[in-house]
Structure 1
Amino acid sequence: MREILITCALTGSIHTPSMSPHLPVTADEIACAGMEAAEAGAAILHLHARDPETGRPSADPAHFRAFLPRLKEGCDAVLNLSTGGSAVMSLDDRLAAAKEAAPEMASLNMGTMNFALYPMAARITEWRHDWEKPFLEGSDDLVFKNTPRDIARILTELGQQRGARFEFECYDLSHLTMLRHFADRALVKPPYFIQFVFGVLGGMGPDPENLTHMLRIADKLFGTDYMFSVLAAGRHQMPMAAQAAAMGGHVRVGLEDSLTISRGTLARSNAEQVAKVRTIVEALGREVAGPDRARAMLGLKGAEATAI
């Protein structure tokens, strides 16, 4: 495939404000970051919210409501709401904003897994907020829960009832098997947009061999009915993106996944990462697709059919 989709994940729920002054926290910051990333070439914006006072990840629909209309008005990018939220949130909390907004796309983690962030705590010497250090250190006993029942509920309430399509986040080989299971149950339909996730402690390591193996199994399970994208945490972001682009896949960047633009250098914005990966993929002969092409390729319902 010559065309390539760039997704930008603006803020996430993994990094904390003390790690980078450039991490978007407030509604203004998230909205501006999204519009800048779209201008730089991101066709899809992967979205979380934060409490503007504390910077803590938030599931409150009001916090999403503070930036979603601005993004819809200010750019044409596909707005993709997280259903993962944070591992410390309940499923009801994680779904609240997406159910209200009825977005074109939503992310969906395809299994329960350890989600270990605690090594990050050792790198920070000054903390801006009291919650950050305990949150990170406590992740040595943290499980992100997404059981088959949870997944079926998300597919039903967001997919079947509200028309959303999904970014299927696969952190391990078993997640591909789980996606096949739900395809067999007719709860999802092609084309499947599979996001391979590398470098989260508890999931796959950021090894090139892991990507080639995941692709072999995805080919076996889904044939030509899927498209794949790659995100990799931290310093592995750009090398893995380059591998994905060279192999015909799509890419995801953003400050949710990595706070740096090169090893040891903080990215000043999400748009800076989008611009860099755009340079990489275009040098490989790929053509960056815009939001309208993303909607056509993924079979999305259109921004006008959302409740944003």
Structure 2
Amino acid sequence: MADRQPVIITCALTGAIHTPSMSPYLPVTSDAIVAQAVEAATAGAAILHLHARDGATGRPDQGVEAFRRIVEPIAAQTDAVLNLTTGGSPYMTVEDRVKPAQMLAPQLASLNMGSMNMGLFPMLKRHPKIAGWEREHLENSRELIFRNTFKDIAYVLDACRANGTRFEFECYDTSHLYTLAYFVEAGAIEPPFFVQTVFGLLGGIGAHPDDISHMRRTALRLFGDDLVWSALGAGAHQMRVAATVAASGGHVRVGLEDSLWAGPGQLAASNAEQVEAAKVMLDGLGLRPATPAEAQHILSLTPIRVAA
């Protein structure tokens, strides 16, 4: 039997959307993030998408030292590709958001490709007892614009250029694909283009199969053979989107940043649990998880590690 096609599993460990009161399994402290990252890599995640948090409050923390506390021990214990967020939290400035990737020089960093409304407030219905900063975090999203202007995007590209860091381009709607195409045509980005299409977040494109097909067709038309397509589904859409995308030749992202769930009404006990579920899904499709070395080859990543 011919070797099964490798599919990159990205695991997004904690993010900046979900809050600690929503799940006891969401990693918040540096030690918890490191432990879950190592478990997810062992389970089969080739890429670890990293955010940091304040261990005392659970708030998103985009400080360089907060990232260093998680990046260095993860790099020492796994071969996974480390992908540092430049999205941070929508409430942060782009200068703050890019600083960890600028200073720590990872192989990969995320880059959001457009401004958007980001509605997190519907989660209040599912978590009515949330209080304090967590409630404010969700309530304030009724008027939240996640700013990612052309100037902001150029700033991130320029800030990380000297590091050799490449990007995972996060696209929440069709217009974001065209923004990426603009920067490609301007010569600001070299192929291949690792495009992470995001489905099911209020303010972005939906998670209907027609939405997925539309984004795939548009990305293929714009980037052709230079496209490396991946996708994630928010919340309950996670595994349905992953299965649809993997069956269509794409790569997948899972993790507690995107969904806290292992099934209807069942919280995932760890990020590794979702990676394991993705592996089962891939096996059923006749596919297999890519190794970190294969992910580096597919994405043409330079063999750099995190800066000291």
* TM score, norm. by length of structure 2: 0.97
Distance 2:32 2:117 in 1: 30
Identify the residue that residue 247 of structure 1 maps to in structure 2: 248
Range with bigger deviation, 249-258 or 218-227 = 218-227
Q: Mapping of 1:76-225 within 5 angstroms?
A: 76-127=79-130, 130-158=132-160, 160-225=161-226
Do 1:2 and 1:248's aligned partners in 2 also have CA atoms closer than 8 Å? Answer: no
CA–CA separation in structure 1 for the residues paired with 2:172 and 2:10: 17
Measure the CA separation in 1 of the matches of 2:292 and 2:245: 20
Question: 2: distance between equivalents of 1:125 and 1:276?
Answer: 29
1:14-29 equivalent positions in 2, closer than 5 A: 14-29=17-32
Match of 2:258 in 1: 257
CA distance in 1, matches of 2:77, 2:220: 38
Residue 307 of structure 2 is matched in structure 1 by 307
For structure 2, list consecutive stretches of 5 or more residues without a partner in the other structure. none
1:126 shift after superposition: 3.1
In structure 2, what is the equivalent of residue 57 of structure 1?
A: 60
Q: 1:36-84, CA deviations, whole angstroms, 9 ceiling, x for partnerless residues? A: 0000000000000000000001111111111111000011100000000
Identify unmatched segments of 5+ residues in structure 1. Answer: none
What does the per-residue CA deviation read over 1:251-288, in whole Å, with 9 as the maximum and x for residues that have no partner?
00000000001111000000000000111012101121
* Matched-pair contact (CA < 8 Å) for 2:52–2:66: yes
What amino acid is aligned across from residue 39 of structure 1 in structure 2? T
**Deviation of the 1:121 alpha carbon:** 1.6
Match of 1:230 in 2: 231
Q: 1:45 aligns with which of 48, 51, 63?
A: 48
C-alpha separation between the residues in 2 aligned to 1:250 and 1:265? 25
- How far, CA to CA, are the matches of 2:219 and 2:63 in structure 1? 35
Are the equivalent residues in 1 in contact too, given 2:279–2:288 (CA < 8 A)? Answer: no
Q: State the distance in 1 between where 2:17 and 2:232 align.
A: 14
**How far apart are the structure 2 equivalents of 1:67 and 1:61?**
10
* Aligned partner of residue 56 in structure 1, secondary structure: coil
AA aligned opposite 1:135: H
Q: Distance in 2 between matches of 1:96 and 1:190?
A: 24
Q: Which amino acid aligns with 2:182?
A: H
**After TM superposition, which residue ranges in structure 1, 4 or more long, deviate above 2 angstroms?**
none
- The one-letter code sitting in structure 1 at the alignment partner of 2:133 is W
SS at match of 1:67: helix
Distance 1:303 1:74 in 2: 16
- Superposition CA RMSD, Å: 1.1
Hey, what's the Cα distance between the residues in 2 that align with 1:197 and 1:125? 26
Letter of the structure 2 residue corresponding to residue 307 of structure 1: A
